[in-house]
Amino acid sequence: MAGLDTGTQPVVTPLDAALVKAVGDFCRWCAGAGLPVVRGWTNAVSRPPGAHIVVTPFSATWHATTSRSYDPGEDGRGRVTVARSMSRRVQVDFYGPDAQAQAQAVATLAQDMTGCDFFRPYDLTPLTVTDPQELTGMAGNEQAEPRWMLELELQPGPEFSGVTVELDFFDNVNLGLHPQA
């Protein structure tokens, strides 16, 4: 039987970190400032006791083909940025006696212009929200643990959807005709 791997953690991209922070801040704003928010899918991290929220980024969906933008830079050493429009799904789990009301508040406000306004400074736009689902289960000592879950789909802005590489190119061409011999 394999042991618990406490020495490794998943790779957290800048986008994943921004998603967890933004969604966690939004949930606290909607459902209660004192709620602990933890990132899902981390090894050797216990859930907080009592009411809390777990934010887990997962799937990505591409929405378009790539686009390119060029910056010629100095001395022919420029950059090309290749971007592709995408969205990310984030699962949000609410635990505790008020989990249903908290999930409903977050789902309602995320579908409103309020959600768009809240996520704008994070360079994210909410696209869709699922209806909250009850996933109450048994915890230790045969006690029911209230849990409600929803999924948010967020579209990151250009800061998160592009890759920039250096590229040799020129923007000043001197052409001329040479007589044929």
pLDDT in tens, 69-126: 878 777 767 888 888 888 999 999 999 999 999 999 999 999 999 999 999 999 999 9
Residue-wise pLDDT tens digits, 26-40: 999 998 878 888 888
Q: Which two tokens mark 91?
A: 């699962």
Neighbours of 27 (CB within 10 A): 23
Q: Tell me whether residue 149 is in a domain.
A: yes
Q: Tell me whether residue 20 is in a domain.
A: yes
What pLDDT was estimated at residue 168?
67
Q: Tell me whether residue 168 is in a domain.
A: no
Q: Tell me whether residue 65 is in a domain.
A: no
Q: Tell me whether residue 172 is in a domain.
A: no
**Residue 40 belongs to domain with CATH number:** 3.30.2000.10
What pLDDT was estimated at residue 113?
94
| Residue numbers of the domain that contains 97 | 14-60+86-159
d(CA 36, CA 53): 6
Per-residue pLDDT at 4 exceeds 60: no
Q: Tell me whether residue 52 is in a domain.
A: yes
Per-residue pLDDT at 44 exceeds 70: no
Neighbours of 19 (CB within 10 A): 26
Find the distance separating the first CA and the last CA of the chain, reported in whole Å: 82
In the chain, the number of structural domains is 1
Q: Tell me whether residue 146 is in a domain.
A: yes
CA angle 48, 49, 55 (to 5 degrees): 35
Q: Tell me whether residue 147 is in a domain.
A: yes
pTM of the prediction?
Answer: 0.76
Average pLDDT over the chain, rounded to an integer: 83
- Helices 99-110 and 14-31, axial angle in degrees (round to 10): 110
Q: Which two tokens mark 5?
A: 């791997």
